[in-house]
Amino acid sequence: MKFQRSIGSIALLFSALGGIVGSGWLFGPLYAAQVAGPAAILSWMIGGLLMISIALTFAELATAFPIAGGMVRFAEFSHGPMMSFTVGWMVWLSSVVVAPVETLALIQYTANYFPALVHKVAGTTVLTGGGVVASAIVMLVMCILNIQGAKFFSRAGTAIVSIKLIVPAITLVTLLLLDFHPSNLEAAGGFFPYGWQGVFSALPLGGVIFSFIGYSTAIQLAGEAKNPQRAIPFAIIGALVFCIFLYVLLQLAFVGALKPEYLTQGWHNLNFAGDSGPFAGILTALGAIWLVIIIYGDAVISPFGTGFIYTASTARVNYALSEIGFFPKFFKQLNKNGIPASAIAVNYIVGLFLFLPFPGWQSMVTFIISCFVIAYSIGPIALITLRRTYPNQIRPFLLPYVDVIAFIAFYICNLLIFWTGWHTVSRLMMALGVGLLVFVYRYFKLKNQGIDVQWKKSIWLIPYFIGVGVISYLGSFGHGINVIKFGVDFFVIALFSGGIFYFALQSAKKMTPTDQVVKI
């Protein structure tokens, strides 16, 4: 049974918007301001533009190969099963965490009315037993709704996202009109209190990149798009451009709405009553209770909508990994509605384990970012490789200056990983190590079945991952030892990216161009 192509252009756009506008807008402006001060406004601009440059490479790939679990399959077509497993493992690992994290955000806001759902452990908000049960129920509802089919997903997703977009828009307009202090843009150290390093640090630590990575849902759902050649670039680019404007204005409104006395201890120490729900806390102090009530309602809808969308897209990653033989075959089974229900069920069980006490929203999203970006970094390399090996594949969206743009996108991915800091990259390396063990186990099974893993084409991944870890450890972000100073690191990563980019393309040159096309 095949996926049903029943998701239209608008629905796909709304799925990308829904993936982007989740808990990020509720928490991001506070955390970004703590890291970068007023210059966090630039962080959102830069973050959005960087993500667009990466997204352009995937726009061509996804329109040329509009298949379910696209990020996994692109890597398979370009460099074989080993690279596709690496991408798939990181995409799955990061995606399966999103629904629990969004559910945590939902429960954290709901706890303002039901305090028994959470409690503090060493200053970190974690779920109580009742909170775990409530979270399990919320995620179960996400799964049940997704199993209804892609057509239901389109209708429900569009309705949820419409609400998600209206509330932040009302919030930013209200704050700009109600109480805006222009002096805050120069307070407590000026516009750049922590320099450009603060601006770049805010990309991972402030949840900026986490907020923008949600566009990938449009790629994973490409196999169910009615008119993928038109719908995919429209959804990806349209969602990112819209959200750049939305988040920049939200950050501006947040900075301007802060009472000057909140800044007496500096931006790093910014705190105020109700800051566990930043916008709600500010609006409560301003007396806009009517909007506070709406925000608390949206604090349920926005995270739920993002978790709902990721429940769908993550199951397609399971499906793709099953297609190439690295996940069990039952993940490929579709129900009568054309949905991989078994994959959704397994992801739900995995998600339940993530409700055990773990660090808060901010530290969790940096790990998710590093996993996603390591997977994104494969896209630019796959794009150039597939231009050569599948020259006859129809490409409705053809990226100009592909060599230059693809390299820039790869370089940006490496910068984003580096900016998450050694503390996060070290955990990323451990996750990759676990994935390697899974790969080795499946490798011998596949070899016995006569399947060629083509590991030589992916050998460049080894120096790539080692290099990422070493540079991060030597860097100045996230507990690195500061051997590579800020500013110099841009050049070091550029040289490293150039070497790996060349090595990866050379590894794929042994692949003979084919006159065949991938049938969709």
Tell me yes or no: is domain 9-507 CATH 1.10.10.10.
Answer: no
At 237-294, the pLDDT tens digits run 888 999 999 999 999 999 998 888 888 888 888 877 766 678 888 888 888 888 888 8
What's the average model confidence in pLDDT over 476-503?
92
Instruction: Report the candidate in 465, 466, 455 with the shortest Cα–Cα distance to residue 510.
Output: 455
pLDDT of the residue at 20? 80
Question: From residue 229, how far is each of 102, 150, 223, 395, 398 by CA, in Å?
Answer: 31, 18, 11, 8, 11
Weakest-pLDDT range from 21-35, 83-97, 130-144, 405-419? 83-97
Q: In this predicted structure, what is the pLDDT of residue 399?
A: 83
Q: By mean pLDDT, which of 140-154, 405-419, 499-513 is the weakest?
A: 140-154
**pLDDT tier, 70 (very low <50, low <70, confident <90, very high otherwise):** low
Long-range Cβ contact pairs of 183-189 (< 8 A, separation 24 or more)? 183/260, 184/38, 184/255, 184/256, 184/258, 184/260, 184/263, 185/38, 185/255, 185/256, 186/38, 187/38, 187/260, 187/263, 188/37, 188/263, 188/264, 188/266, 188/267, 189/37, 189/266, 189/267
Burial class (CB in 10 A: 0-12, 13-18, 19+), 115: exposed
CA 89 – CA 374 distance, rounded (Å): 10
pLDDT at 266: 86
Report the distance separating Cα 288 and Cα 276, nearest Å.
17
Whole-angstrom distance, CA of residue 466 vs CA of residue 429? 9
Asked if pLDDT for residue 69 goes beyond 70, the answer is no
User: What DSSP string describes 366-388?
Assistant: HHHHHHHHHHHTHHHHHHHHHHH
Displacement of CA 282 from its chain's centroid (Å): 27
Which pLDDT does position 288 carry in this prediction? 85
Instruction: For CA atoms 309, 310, 313, 315, give the dihedral sign.
Output: negative
State the Cα–Cα distance between residues 339 and 478, nearest whole angstrom: 40
Residue 227 scores a pLDDT above 70: no
Residue 74 half-sphere exposure toward CB, CA atoms < 13 A: 32
For residue 121, give the H/E element and its range. strand 118-121
Average pLDDT over residues 7-14: 73
Q: Rounded distance, CA 97 to CA 311, Å?
A: 10
More confident residue, 108 or 487: 487
Quote the mean pLDDT of the chain: 80
**Average pLDDT in the 490-516 region?**
83
- Give me the mean pLDDT over the 154-177 stretch: 77
**Predicted local distance difference test score (pLDDT) of residue 248:** 95
Say if CB 146 and CB 153 are below 8 A apart: yes
Higher model confidence: residue 181 or residue 86? 181
Higher pLDDT, 409 or 508: 409
pLDDT for the residue 407: 94
Backbone torsion region of residue 513, taken as left when φ is above 0, otherwise alpha when ψ lies between -120 and 50, otherwise beta: beta
Q: What is the mean pLDDT of residues 488-497?
A: 94
Quick one: pLDDT at residue 514?
A: 61
Residue of higher predicted confidence among 326 and 183? 183
Largest separation between any pair of C-alpha atoms in the chain: 69
Between 513 and 175, the more confident residue is 175
Alpha-carbon distances of 91 from 190, 214, 218, 432, rounded to whole Å: 39, 12, 14, 11
Q: What is the three-class DSSP state of 7?
A: strand
- Would you place residue 4 in the very low, low, confident or very high pLDDT band (cuts 50, 70, 90)? low
User: Over the stretch 17-51, which tens digit does the pLDDT of each residue have?
Assistant: 877 877 778 888 988 999 999 999 999 999 999 98
Residue corresponding to tokens 């630019």? 380
Picking from 72, 143, 117, 123, the residue whose alpha carbon sits closest to that of residue 350 is: 143
Dihedral sign for Cα 245, 168, 299, 311, please. negative
Would you state the pLDDT for residue 474? 95
Between strands 124-127 and 118-121, the pairing is antiparallel
| Selection from 210, 268, 279 nearest residue 34 by Cα | 268
Spatial neighbors of 86 by CB under 8 A, at least 6 apart, are 75, 378, 432, 435, 439, 458, 461
Residue spans per domain, the chain:
9-507
Tens digit of each residue's pLDDT (9 = 90 or more) over 166-202: 888 898 899 888 888 899 999 888 899 999 989 998 9
Q: Which one has a higher pLDDT value, 97 or 156? A: 97
Q: pTM for the full model?
A: 0.79
pLDDT at 519 > cutoff 70:
no
pLDDT of residue 494: 96
Query: N- to C-terminal Cα distance for the chain?
Result: 14
Residue keyed to tokens 């109700």:
274
Q: When comparing pLDDT for 146 and 469, which is higher?
A: 469
Q: What is the pLDDT of residues 370-404, one digit of tens each?
A: 777 888 888 899 899 888 888 888 887 788 889 99
